[in-house]
Amino acid sequence: MGTSVSIREVLIRAGSRVLVQHMSVEVGLGETHAFIGPSGAGKTTLLRAVAGLVRLSEGAIALGTTVVATADSEVPAEERRVGFVFQGHGLWPHFNVREHLAFVLKCAGVTATEANSRINTVLGEVGLTALALRKPDTLSGGERQRLAIARAVATEPALLILDEPTASLDPITADEIRDCIRLLTRRTGSTVLLVTHDQREAFAMAKAVSIMSAGRLLQTGTPEVLWNHPDSAAVAQFLGEATLLKGRLLDGRRVETCLGVLSLSDVPRGDDVDVVIRPDDLVLGDPNGVVADVTSSWFREGKYRLGLKVGASAFFANSATSAKIGEQVRVGVKGSCPAVSRSSPL
Amino acid sequence: MSIRGAAVAWGLASLCLIVPLVFIGVEAASAGGVVATLVDPELHRLLLNTLALAATVTVFACVLGFPLGILLGGYSFPLNRAIALLAAVPLLIPHHVQTIGWMRVFGRQGWMTEALASLGVTLDVRAAAFPGFWPGPAWIMALALFPLVALPVAAAVTRLDRDAIASATLAGGSSAALRVAVIPAGFTALPGAASLVFALASGAYAVPSLLDTPVLVQRVFFTFSQRSQGEGALLVLPLLVSAALAAALLGDPWFRSGAMGGAGRTARERVGWLGTAIAMFPVLCGVIVPIGALIAKIVEEALRNPSAPSPFKVVFSRTAASFGNGLIFAMLATVVVLLTAWPLARHFAARQGAISERLLTASIALPPLVLGVGTILAWKHVSNVPLLDAIYRSGLILLVLGLAGRFLPIVVRDLRDGLLALDPSAEEAARVAGASGMRRTWGVVIPMMRSSIIACIVIAFTLAITELDLTLLLYPPGMETVQVRIFNMVHYARDAEVSALCLMAVAFAALPVSFYALLRRRKGT
Check which CATH number belongs to the domain holding A85 and give it. 3.40.50.300
CB-CB neighbours of B256 under 10 Å: 16
Strands annotated E in B145-291: 269-270
Co-location of A275 and A317 in the same domain: yes
**Cα torsion through B354, B359, B363, B365, rounded to 10:** 100
- Most distant CA pair in chain A, distance: 73
A151 touches chain B (CB under 8 A): yes
Concatenate the DSSP letters of all residues of B116-168 into one string. Answer: HHHTT----TTS-SBTTB-HHHHHHHHHHHTHHHHHHHHHHHHTS-HHHHHHH
Q: Nearest residue on chain B to A93, judged by CA atoms?
A: B448
Co-location of A71 and A177 in the same domain: yes
Please report residues of A whose CB lies closer than 8 A to that of B447.
92, 94
Residues contacting B280, CB < 8 A, separation 6+: B79, B83
Query: How far apart, in whole angstroms, are the C-alpha atoms of residue A309 and residue A292?
Result: 5
* Most B CBs within 10 Å, among A55, A103, A156, A159, to test the B interface: A103
* Three-state secondary-structure class, residue A326: coil
**Contact indicator for B69, B468 with CB cutoff of 8 Å:** no
Q: Does position B260 have pLDDT exceeding 50, yes or no?
A: no
Query: How far apart, in whole angstroms, are the C-alpha atoms of residue B139 and residue B61?
Result: 8
Query: Nearest-CA neighbor of B145 among B54, B222, B224, B232?
Result: B54
CA dihedral (B472, B477, B478, B479) positive or negative: negative
Co-location of A114 and A61 in the same domain: yes
Query: How far apart, in whole angstroms, are the C-alpha atoms of residue A75 and residue A86?
Result: 20
Q: What is the C-alpha radius of gyration for chain A, rounded to an integer number of angstroms?
A: 24
Residues contacting A152, CB < 8 A, separation 6+: A83, A84, A85, A160, A161, A162
Of A191, A226, A261, the residue at which a domain comes to its end is: A226
What CATH architecture does domain B1-30+309-525 belong to?
Answer: Orthogonal Bundle (1.10)
Write down the pTM of the prediction: 0.82
- When mean pLDDT is compared over A17-26, A182-191, B184-193, the highest value belongs to A17-26
pLDDT level of residue B3 (50, 70, 90 thresholds): low
Residue of A93, A94, A104 with shortest CB distance to B433: A104
pLDDT level of residue B298 (50, 70, 90 thresholds): very high
A204 touches chain B (CB under 8 A): no
| Mean pLDDT for the stretch of residues B251-270 | 52
Q: Nearest residue on chain A to B451, judged by CA atoms?
A: A94
> How many domains does chain A contain in total?
2
Same fold yes or no, B1-30+309-525 and B39-307? yes
**Contact indicator for B486, B498 with CB cutoff of 8 Å:** yes
Instruction: With residue B41 as reference, give the H or E element that holds it.
Output: helix B41-74
Please report residues of A whose CB lies closer than 8 A to that of B429.
84, 86, 90-92, 148, 151
Residue A205 inside a domain? The answer is yes
| Mean pLDDT for the stretch of residues A89-111 | 93
Residue A294 inside a domain? The answer is yes
Residue A200 domain boundaries: 5-226
Q: Does position A346 have pLDDT exceeding 60, yes or no?
A: no
Give the pairing type, strands A208-213 and A32-36: parallel
Co-location of A160 and A289 in the same domain: no
The correct CATH number of B39-307 out of 1.10.800.10, 1.10.3720.10, 3.90.1150.10, 3.40.50.620 is 1.10.3720.10
Co-location of A261 and A219 in the same domain: no
Percentage, residues of chain A above pLDDT 90? 55
Query: How far apart, in whole angstroms, are the C-alpha atoms of residue A176 and residue A146?
Result: 10
A81 touches chain B (CB under 8 A): yes
Query: Nearest-CA neighbor of B186 among B150, B161, B144?
Result: B150
Query: How far apart, in whole angstroms, are the C-alpha atoms of residue B168 and residue B164?
Result: 6
Residues contacting B118, CB < 8 A, separation 6+: none
Of A301 and B208, more confident: B208
Residue A232 inside a domain? The answer is no
Co-location of A281 and A308 in the same domain: yes
pLDDT level of residue B257 (50, 70, 90 thresholds): very low
Q: Do B428 and A90 touch (CB under 8 A)?
A: yes
Residue A328 inside a domain? The answer is yes
**Which of A78-87, B73-82, B516-525 is predicted least confidently?**
B516-525
Residue B250: what pLDDT? 66
B306 touches chain A (CB under 8 A): no
Q: Does position A241 have pLDDT exceeding 80, yes or no?
A: no
Q: Does position B259 have pLDDT exceeding 60, yes or no?
A: no
Concatenate the DSSP letters of all residues of A259-278 into one string. Answer: TEEEEBSS--SSSEEEEEE-
Q: Do A86 and B435 touch (CB under 8 A)?
A: no
pLDDT level of residue B524 (50, 70, 90 thresholds): low
Of A10 and A187, more confident: A10
Q: Nearest residue on chain B to A51, judged by CA atoms?
A: B432
Domain boundaries, chain B: 1-30+309-525, 39-307
Per-residue pLDDT of B11-37, as tens digits, reads 888 888 888 888 888 888 887 777 887
Q: Do B448 and A94 touch (CB under 8 A)?
A: yes
Co-location of A270 and A190 in the same domain: no
Q: How close, in Å, is residue B261 to chain A by CA atoms?
A: 19
CB-CB neighbours of B30 under 10 Å: 10
**Contact indicator for B484, B372 with CB cutoff of 8 Å:** no
pLDDT level of residue B523 (50, 70, 90 thresholds): low
A82 touches chain B (CB under 8 A): yes
Residue A260 inside a domain? The answer is yes
Is the interface score ipTM higher than 0.85? Answer: no
Please report residues of A whose CB lies closer than 8 A to that of B444.
92
Concatenate the DSSP letters of all residues of B291-327 into one string. Answer: HHHHHHHHHHHHHH-TTSPPHHHHHHHHHHHHHHHHH
Q: Do B431 and A151 touch (CB under 8 A)?
A: no
Residue A136: what pLDDT? 93
Residue B162: what pLDDT? 78
CB-CB neighbours of B327 under 10 Å: 16
Q: Does position B247 have pLDDT exceeding 60, yes or no?
A: yes
Percentage, residues of chain B above pLDDT 70? 95
Please report residues of B whose CB lies closer than 8 A to that of A78.
431-436
B444 touches chain A (CB under 8 A): yes
Query: Nearest-CA neighbor of A121 among A92, A155, A171, A148?
Result: A155
| Bridge partners, A221 (sequence order) | A209
Co-location of A28 and A90 in the same domain: yes
Listed in sequence order, the DSSP H helices in B351-395 are 355-362, 368-381, 386-394
**Contact indicator for B287, B97 with CB cutoff of 8 Å:** no
Q: Nearest residue on chain A to B450, judged by CA atoms?
A: A94
Of A222 and B255, more confident: A222
Of A226, A261, A279, the residue at which a domain comes to its end is: A226
Residue A306 inside a domain? The answer is yes
Co-location of A218 and A269 in the same domain: no
Q: Do B448 and A92 touch (CB under 8 A)?
A: yes
User: How far is residue A89 from each of residues A296, B17, B419, B427, measured CA to CA in Å?
Assistant: 41, 41, 17, 11
Q: Do B428 and A108 touch (CB under 8 A)?
A: no
A80 touches chain B (CB under 8 A): yes
Please report residues of A whose CB lies closer than 8 A to that of B431.
52-53, 77-78
| Mean pLDDT for the stretch of residues A97-108 | 94
Of A180, A196, A226, the residue at which a domain comes to its end is: A226
**Contact indicator for A242, A277 with CB cutoff of 8 Å:** yes
Q: Nearest residue on chain A to B422, judged by CA atoms?
A: A90
What long-range pairs does B221-230 form, CB within 8 A, spacing at least 24? B221/B369, B221/B472, B221/B473, B224/B373, B224/B473, B225/B473, B228/B31, B229/B27, B229/B373, B229/B376, B229/B377, B229/B380, B230/B27, B230/B28, B230/B30, B230/B31, B230/B32
Co-location of A184 and A211 in the same domain: yes
Kindly report the CATH number assigned to the domain that includes residue A260: 2.40.50.140
Q: How close, in Å, is residue A239 to chain B by CA atoms?
A: 30
Q: What angle do CA B347, B352, B353 make, to 5 degrees?
A: 120
| Mean pLDDT for the stretch of residues B141-168 | 86
User: How far is residue B160 from each of residues A208, B151, B157, B186, B272, measured CA to CA in Å?
Assistant: 46, 14, 5, 9, 21
Q: Work out the mean pLDDT of chain B and round it to a whole number.
A: 86
**Contact indicator for B445, B369 with CB cutoff of 8 Å:** no
| Bridge partners, A193 (sequence order) | A33, A161
Co-location of A209 and A306 in the same domain: no
**Contact indicator for A213, A21 with CB cutoff of 8 Å:** no
Query: How far apart, in whole angstroms, are the C-alpha atoms of residue B98 and residue A24?
Result: 68
> What are φ and ψ of residue B116, in 5° steps?
-65, -40
B350 touches chain A (CB under 8 A): no
**Contact indicator for A235, A218 with CB cutoff of 8 Å:** yes
> What are φ and ψ of residue A224, in 5° steps?
-65, -45
Co-location of A57 and A174 in the same domain: yes
